């Protein structure tokens, strides 16, 4: 299935909060920065995507094993093609602008609400 969701189009997600099954609450400020986790608080969000279980496993394997030069291109193509709007029941993956952090992606547990 090919997606029409654009992970880099952040405007609909600005000012929203995402709560996970583990009780964590993350947000994207109106300025497009991440909130809710101290070590990446204030990082500029570059992309946001919801992941189904099978895609989550594939993406996680990529993050753990693929060389960084291939990883970025693979993730961009895969998330553009199969990523979904972050919503209840999906895991959320946040990509950060390269100048924000050494680790470019953050993946949450399953979402229970988006407000």
* Residue 4, domain member (yes or no): no
* Residue 59, domain member (yes or no): yes
* Residue 21, domain member (yes or no): yes
Number of domains composing the chain: 1
Res. 101: pLDDT tops 60: no
* Residue 5, domain member (yes or no): no
Report pLDDT digits (tens) over 86-98: 999 999 999 888 7
Put the strands of the sheet holding 25-28 in their side by side order: 34-35, 25-28, 17-20, 105-114, 91-96, 45-51
Whole-model pTM: value is 0.86
Domain encompassing residue 45: 11-114
Report pLDDT digits (tens) over 39-84: 889 999 999 999 998 888 888 888 888 887 888 888 888 888 888 9
CA torsion sign for 12, 15, 112, 57 is positive
């Amino acid at each position: 299935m090919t997606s029409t969701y654009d992970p880099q189009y952040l405007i609909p997600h600005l000012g929203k909060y995402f709560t996970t099954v583990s009780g964590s609450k993350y947000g994207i400020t109106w300025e497009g920065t991440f909130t809710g986790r101290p070590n990446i608080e204030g990082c500029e969000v570059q992309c946001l995507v919801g992941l189904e279980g099978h895609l989550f496993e594939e993406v996680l394997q990529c993050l753990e094993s693929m060389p960084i030069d291939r990883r970025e291109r693979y993730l961009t193509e895969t998330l553009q093609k199969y990523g979904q709007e972050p919503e209840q029941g999906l895991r959320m993956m946040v990509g950060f602008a390269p100048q924000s952090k050494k680790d470019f992606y953050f993946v949450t547990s399953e979402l229970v609400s988006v407000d």
